[in-house]
Structure 1
């Protein structure tokens, strides 16, 4: 019956529903914000080659104050974030998401990693520098962070 796979798909539906609420005109309510970790080498992930090349295995994005054009679809979502002061668009299949965390309410979902796309290889989680703040957006800055501090040791 593959109950574990069905449960993973159902929980990815929670991620999709949360992103749909964030994409609504009123945006994220209160202090809610999302840390989304995904496999950059998973099938269907797309974005600037230079950005994905820096994180050949896994990447974490934060949707808080500065994100634009969030478009949650049925099988993937797209969002524009600032990296090094430049807007860059990412498209991420829900199946590529390995972690979803809303620290405002300590809500965490963790998923099994998908199989790598053809030609992908597995490397350790990369800790990323904080990108520059966008001058034209709302307060705060988009960040890429390592989730090592949240891992059980």
Structure 2
């Protein structure tokens, strides 16, 4: 029996489903209009599959942009895969949705931020402590911050689950 609802975990699950739905639509029909995405993810997360030279360049966090050129975008289960150009060399990346820390579409002033310590899953019986309120705003990736700043300059909001937490 559930002793309490873990709204943070439920929100994460729903918002990761939203990302999966959006990327699935893009995989089928391409990007509509001026939509494009800045996606920042943890390169150390289990299931992230990137070439070794990219892992060496981005040992903790990486931001990718899906805009003008990308290929073979696919969504399967709890991850997506895409081919991107790095120095005119196509590279295949596999990114689990739960490795993503930010998902921003500056064209419509939309963004999601998943804070550290708020991983979905865990004990749904209510026996586990609530998710940490620590924020993962310090970023080793300048491009992640640039994506956030771009959204903020346009007046967009980054949705943070902190606002829904009981303090």
Q: How does 1:76-87 map to 2 (within 5 A)?
A: 76-87=79-90
Q: Secondary structure at the match of 2:140?
A: coil
TM-score (norm 2): 0.70
Q: Which has the larger radius of gyration?
A: 2
Shift of 1:65: 1.4
Match of 1:147 in 2: 145
Match of 1:43 in 2: 46
**CA distance in 2: counterparts of 1:83 and 1:113, whole angstroms:** 28
Determine if the alignment matches structure 1 residue 99 to structure 2 residue 102.
yes
Contact 1:39 1:113 (8 Å CA) reproduced: no
**CA distance in 2: counterparts of 1:105 and 1:90, whole angstroms:** 25
Of 117, 123, 140, the residue aligned with 1:125 is: 140
Contact 1:97 1:113 (8 Å CA) reproduced: no
Cα displacement string for residues 47-86 of structure 1 (whole angstroms, at most 9, x for unaligned residues)? 1011111111111000011000001111100000000110
Residues 91, 149 of structure 1: alpha-carbon distance in 2 compared, 3 angstrom cutoff: closer
Where has structure 1 moved over 3 Å in runs of 4 or more? none
**CA distance in 2: counterparts of 1:4 and 1:146, whole angstroms:** 23
Number of equivalent positions: 127
Cα displacement string for residues 85-113 of structure 1 (whole angstroms, at most 9, x for unaligned residues)? 10000000000001000011000011123
Q: Which runs of 5+ in 2 are unaligned?
A: 120-137, 153-167
Contact 2:48 2:96 (8 Å CA) reproduced: yes
